[in-house]
Amino acid sequence: AVLTRQTDVFVPLEERISIARRSGADVLLSLHADALDGDEITSGASVYTLSDQAQEDASLRMAERHDRGDLLAGLDLTGQDDTVATVLMDLARTETAPQSDTLADALVQALMDTNARVNNTPRREALLAVLNAADFPSALVEVGFLSNPHDRDALRSAEGRARVVAGIVLAVQRWANSEAAKDALRRQ
């Protein structure tokens, strides 16, 4: 695992993707603890992937904002226009989007299996900048809501955090084993 920071400083969302890419990440997990003003009802972990409708927009935004040498690992798009970059990123997503979905499903199941607090609608999709990478699967895990006293207490306790950590580790192990099995079948 590679952390994007060691102290309480903001790391821009696009930089988080760049850090993952520079470290040769196989997957990007973005961990968050949310808070909603005046909402003590919303609770539990939820897992997000990039929505299907947002993928083309995400590719275009990445092409517009990112350094061309850092859009896709192993492929320097310097000198390529937005259209070419967008098409290549969309092609990369044909593989990574289903992997992200499988990873997110594994995260939800493993969080439930480890008795972590899980939202009543734990599987979600959204247009989130940290999920824009096209060349590796990614998911955002909201581990709970700091605005909810029960979630806050669980996240403050070693036992509550351990359930979340165990769920994430279990999910990544299950997902990696599943992906390895799929790769083995494709090679046959």
For 19-32, what is each residue's pLDDT tens digit? 988 898 999 999 99
For tokens 């009802």, name the residue. Answer: 41
> The whole model's pTM is what?
0.80
Identify the CA nearest to 139 among candidates 31, 41, 45, 67.
31
d(C-alpha 140, C-alpha 127), whole Å? 11
8 falls within a domain: no
CA separation (Å) from 171 to 1, 124, 176?
A: 14, 17, 8
Beta strands 45-50 and 28-34: pairing type? unpaired
Q: Domain for residue 85, yes or no?
A: no
How many contiguous H segments (helices) and E segments (strands) does the chain have?
5, 4
Sheet holding 118-126, edge to edge: 28-34, 138-145, 45-50, 118-126
**Within a domain: 155:** yes
Is residue 83 a part of any domain in this protein? Answer: no
Q: Is residue 76 part of a domain?
A: no
Note whether residue 73 is domain-resident: no
The predicted pLDDT at position 87 comes to: 55
pLDDT of residue 128: 78
Helix (H) or strand (E) holding 174: helix 158-187
- Is position 59 within any domain? no
| pLDDT at 153 (0 to 100) | 96
* Counted domains in the chain: 1
Query: What CATH number is associated with residue 114?
Result: 3.40.630.40
Domain range holding 122?
A: 13-52+96-187
Q: Are 62 and 89 contacting, i.e. CB atoms less than 8 angstroms apart?
A: yes
Q: Is residue 70 part of a domain?
A: no
Q: Which residues in the chain come in under a pLDDT of 70?
A: 39, 52-94
How far does CA 24 lie from the centroid of its chain? 15
Nearest to 27 by CA among 91, 111, 101: 101
For residue 14, the model assigns a pLDDT of 79
Give the per-residue pLDDT at 65: 46
pLDDT attached to residue 170: 98
